[in-house]
Amino acid sequence: MDGGRTHVASIFYSMAGEGRGHATRARTVVEALRHRHKVTLFASDCAYAMLAPIYKGTDIDVVSIPGLGFAYGRSGQVALGGTLWAMARFRLALKQHVQTVLPVFERTPPDLVVGDFEPLLPRAARACGVPFVSFDHQHYLVVGDLSELPFRLRHQAATIAPFVQAMYDWQVGTIVSSFYSPPLKPAYADATMVGPLIRPEIRRLCPRHGGHVLVYMRRFASPQVLAALAACGREVFVYGLGEQPRQGRLRFFAIDERRFVEHLATCHALVSTAGNQLVGEALYLRKPILVMPEARNFEQAVNAHFLELTGAGWSETGVVTPKRLRAFLDAADVLRARIRPEAACGNDEALAALLGYLPRTSVSGAARAGEAAAALGPRAQWA
């Protein structure tokens, strides 16, 4: 019982703390489920910092847990050695970390655990006999047939897939959210592929084509990239590098979700790292994208490859030049015409799949169908 309301089921939802995509996906699910179910979030690092203030003082509890993130060098790029060392230390302490969340299970046992590439809650669920569903992007490496990838990426995928599978392999179901949908391997025919989850505030927007270029970089942008942006002939709004003094046409903003969404909805095009969630949101709003995958970030390299296959964006693995950037901006209208926004929203399918894993005693089939149809709100309309 919460505020006089009886919840149908209790759901524990945990997520990786690195980046903002996991937290954005979780928030979308929470907003769809909270009117009928008790949802408790478990997050670390960036995801916790994003979600805790949003849900402070509400019926949604956000619990801080230990998490694993990338290590970054002085240049702001991923430090492979430091990341591997952090992974090893985290793995050695994994059993101890799981013990820290077991008391929450004992106090208020959930009906279902949902894990977004996070290892603690799945292990606690297994120890307590609670069904667990995997819902992330990374498991495309396990369930997807990636034979269309170039040899180098295909070889890396085969190398990395066992590490993704080692995160957990006892889930009752696997749901993969991605802006591209490789065919499923025969062994994983029961997995569910859905599009990106689009936040309610984005689904309510009336996007339009403005004059500025929106840029999102995580921690690092080379001087050459900034010089190319400054020479593109448009106003450029830069997020991810912190608030800084204006440099000509470059304006630097601190992360602010509401303002960022407004700038995304009204931009001419997006220049960004190649995270799955942001790419999906941009496609939903019919924004052409020039992605620059982070160095040594294999997942982003794969995302960049599949984005180019959609015909809706370009990929730049080296340093983008002013000429290349201007050519992309000149091609924006052609790229935009190829985008199918309806294919970039997996909300309905994801919610229906998640509800299907709730114990039958918790919610009826009719209630599941009603929630899947009504909980997610209106879709964006073009002005």
Which residue, among 223, 239, 218, 215, has the nearest Cα to 321 in the 3D structure? Answer: 223
Q: Name the pLDDT band for 342 (thresholds 50, 70, 90).
A: confident
Domain ranges of the chain: 10-197+346-374, 201-343
Q: What is the DSSP string of 203-243?
A: HT------SPEEEE-SS---HHHHHHHHTSSS-EEEESS--
* Burial profile 206-223: b = 16 or more Cβ within 10 angstroms, e = fewer: ebeeeebbbbbbbebbee
3-class DSSP state for residue 5?
A: strand
Q: In sequence order, what are the beta bridge partners of 61?
A: 40
Which residue, among 171, 164, 175, has the nearest Cα to 121 in the 3D structure? Answer: 171
Stretch (H or E) spanning 56 = none
Residue 14 has pLDDT above 70, yes or no: yes
* In contact, 363 and 9? CB cutoff 8 Å: yes
* In contact, 15 and 46? CB cutoff 8 Å: no
Chain position carrying tokens 């060098």: 73
* In contact, 134 and 171? CB cutoff 8 Å: yes
Regarding predicted confidence, which is higher, 70 or 229? 229
3-class DSSP state for residue 197?
A: coil
Q: In sequence order, what are the beta bridge partners of 186?
A: none
Cα separation of 213 and 229, whole Å? 9
Assigned token pair, 258: 């509401």
Chain position carrying tokens 């270029």: 213
Cα separation of 36 and 33, whole Å? 6
pLDDT digits (tens, 9 = 90+) for 83-138: 666 666 777 778 888 999 999 999 999 999 999 999 999 999 999 999 999 999 99
* In contact, 220 and 238? CB cutoff 8 Å: no
Give this prediction's pTM.
0.86
* In contact, 184 and 190? CB cutoff 8 Å: no
> Does 10-197+346-374 carry CATH code 3.40.50.2000?
yes
pLDDT at residue number 166: 86
* In contact, 261 and 245? CB cutoff 8 Å: no
Cα separation of 248 and 45, whole Å? 34
The answer to whether domain 10-197+346-374 and domain 201-343 are alike in fold is: yes
Q: Name the pLDDT band for 365 (thresholds 50, 70, 90).
A: very low
- Total count of residues recorded for the chain: 383
pLDDT at residue number 69: 63
Would you call 81 exposed, middle or buried from its count of C-beta atoms within 10 A (0-12, 13-18, 19+)? Answer: exposed
Q: In sequence order, what are the beta bridge partners of 175?
A: 135, 192
Q: What's the CA angle centered on 183, arms 178 and 184, to 5 degrees?
A: 95
Residue 375 has pLDDT above 90, yes or no: no
Domain 201-343: homologous superfamily in CATH: Glycogen Phosphorylase B; (3.40.50.2000)
Average pLDDT over the chain reads 88
Give percent above pLDDT 90 in the chain: 69
Residue 331 has pLDDT above 50, yes or no: yes
Chain position carrying tokens 């489920």: 33
Question: Could you say which DSSP state residue 78 is in?
Answer: B
